[in-house]
């Protein structure tokens, strides 16, 4: 059954436009609170949730609305303030709370915001719980009795707890002394955390993107805009650069020369290290957008590889289904289930650094064996309701392109989940053929979409 409000990563939109309005968020909090209150401890203790947020100015408004709804439903609230999404997952689990809630729109600009939930185990909420919450959103907010209201309190040591958790994922016998690292926090939720993690492990740290003003999150900094990181690494003669996104669950890195390495590269470094160390459990999960060369690299190393739908939620589901530990996306979401219950940019960076330190390699040396195939992505506007994927001409041109690629490339057509677009992606060994093939398919789709 499809969901009305929840997407693959919670509820997201432009602030002030439905559903990201104070009234809706209060109703959401109340509906979630009612679902949680119906699952109280057998000891009779009141249900409690943790709320964290990134640095968007709208977070103040949405935090107040959310806790109002939860308190009205009789649920206690812990307020963590600005803190990364994976920190909320960790604290929810360790504090034995019923749920964790993050107010963030991840890598989006500050004008957007969103709400996403974690279960008591630090995972994304199951679909059936999201359906239960949605069923109650349109019900009126009522209070049974004043004495049944929840309470709110500030979790003062949230940042310190999470810093120690991140450090604890790094081997106790290892340190980062002698390494100079530039960390770009995207003016987001890791601005007061990331540099301390790496510094306390021994590195010399230069921090950029650490002056949030409520409006500059992800703007010119972070994993989606790495140019300033590349520049800073060269200027400071650093050994490596680490870029996180606004809510801290995405990672991109650059080497000492400012060369960029995406999620596929970093996942490759971790996978090969674990294979060499004999610590690989099962295989690796990527997505439909994972570069074909990564799949070929896994095959050469005899590591099983599967593709999930785009979105870290789907990567997580397939990992759990297979009983594997390692997966990720080329956008920089990397999941190490033996270290955390969700994707975590800081923890993933430490996994890469562990591989480099153990093998005495630079990032370019460790990732150099993975040469990504050229990949062209074209977004074609398609009116809602138009099914280009099922059209005979589209299927015919795709078959023609696949014949021309001759097993040395692939084609992916994917409707956008948020915009009236069809994403046409072609990748392969021959750059010119890939570019021509993508344009060939896009031309057919544009013509059909205009009919």
Residue 75: how many CA atoms within 13 Å on its side-chain side?
Answer: 31
Between the alpha carbon of residue 447 and those of residues 414, 417, 421, 439, the distances in Å are: 17, 22, 14, 12
> What is the token pair recorded at 53?
């947020």
Report how far apart the first and last C-alpha atoms of the chain are (Å, whole number): 32
Reduce the DSSP state of residue 327 to 3 states and report it. Answer: strand
Reduce the DSSP state of residue 176 to 3 states and report it. Answer: coil
148, containing H or E segment: none
Distance CA 202, CA 172 (A): 12
What DSSP line would sit under 9-38, residue for residue? Answer: TBEEEETTSTTSSHHHHHHHHHHHHHHHHT
Active site residue 106: yes
Phi, psi of 192, rounded to the nearest 5 degrees: -110, 15
Distance CA 267, CA 273 (A): 10
- Dihedral of CA atoms 70, 76, 81, 84 in degrees, nearest 10, equals -80
Distance CA 226, CA 216 (A): 15
**Catalytic residue of the set 106, 119, 341, 437:** 106
- Dihedral of CA atoms 377, 381, 384, 389 in degrees, nearest 10, equals -50
Task: Report yes or no: 131 and 3 within 8 Å, Cβ to Cβ.
Answer: yes
User: Nearest-CA neighbor of 251 among 281, 227, 226, 215?
Assistant: 226
Report the catalytic residues.
106
């Amino acid at each position: 059954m499809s969901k009305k409000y929840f997407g693959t990563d919670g509820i997201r939109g432009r602030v002030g436009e439905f559903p990201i309005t104070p009234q809706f968020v209060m109703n959401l909090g109340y509906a979630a609170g009612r679902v949680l209150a119906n699952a109280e401890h057998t000891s009779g203790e009141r249900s409690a949730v943790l709320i964290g947020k990134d640095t968007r100015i709208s977070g103040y408004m949405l935090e107040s609305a959310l806790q109002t709804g939860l308190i009205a439903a009789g649920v206690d609230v812990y307020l963590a303030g600005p803190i990364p999404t994976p920190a909320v997952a960790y604290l929810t689990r360790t504090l034995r709370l019923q749920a964790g809630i993050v107010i963030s729109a991840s890598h989006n600009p500050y004008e957007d915001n969103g709400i996403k939930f974690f279960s008591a185990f630090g995972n994304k909420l199951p679909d059936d719980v999201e359906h239960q919450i949605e069923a109650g959103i349109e019900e009126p907010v009522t209070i049974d009795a004043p004495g049944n209201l929840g309470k709110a309190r500030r979790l003062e040591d949230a940042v310190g707890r999470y810093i120690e958790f991140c450090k604890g994922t790094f081997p106790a016998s290892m340190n980062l002394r002698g390494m100079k690292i530039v960390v770009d926090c995207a003016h987001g939720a890791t601005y007061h955390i990331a540099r301390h993690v790496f510094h306390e492990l021994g590195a010399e740290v230069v921090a950029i993107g650490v002056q949030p003003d409520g409006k500059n999150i992800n703007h010119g900094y972070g994993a989606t805009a790495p140019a300033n990181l590349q520049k800073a690494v060269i200027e400071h003669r650093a050994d490596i650069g680490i870029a996180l996104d606004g809510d801290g669950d995405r990672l991109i890195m650059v080497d000492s020369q400012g060369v960029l390495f995406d999620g596929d590269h970093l996942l490759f470094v971790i996978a090969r290290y674990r294979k060499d160390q004999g610590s690989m459990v099962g295989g690796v999960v990527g997505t439909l957008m994972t570069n074909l060369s990564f799949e070929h690299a896994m095959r050469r190393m005899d590591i099983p590889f599967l593709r999930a739908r785009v979105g870290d939620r789907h990567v997580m589901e397939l990992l759990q289904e297979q009983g594997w530990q390692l997966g990720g996306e080329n956008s920089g979401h990397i999941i190490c289930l033996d270290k955390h219950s969700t994707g975590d940019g800081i923890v993933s960076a430490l996994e890469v650094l562990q591989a480099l330190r153990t093998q005495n390699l630079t990032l370019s040396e460790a990732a150099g064996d993975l040469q990504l195939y050229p990949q062209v992505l074209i977004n074609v506007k398609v009116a809602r309701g138009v099914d280009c994927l099922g059209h005979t001409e589209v299927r015919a041109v795709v078959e023609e392109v696949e014949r021309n690629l001759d097993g040395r490339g692939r084609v992916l057509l994917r409707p956008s989940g948020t915009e009236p677009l069809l994403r046409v992606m072609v990748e392969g060994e021959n750059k010119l053929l890939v570019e021509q093939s993508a344009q060939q398919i896009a031309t057919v789709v544009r013509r059909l979409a205009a009919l």
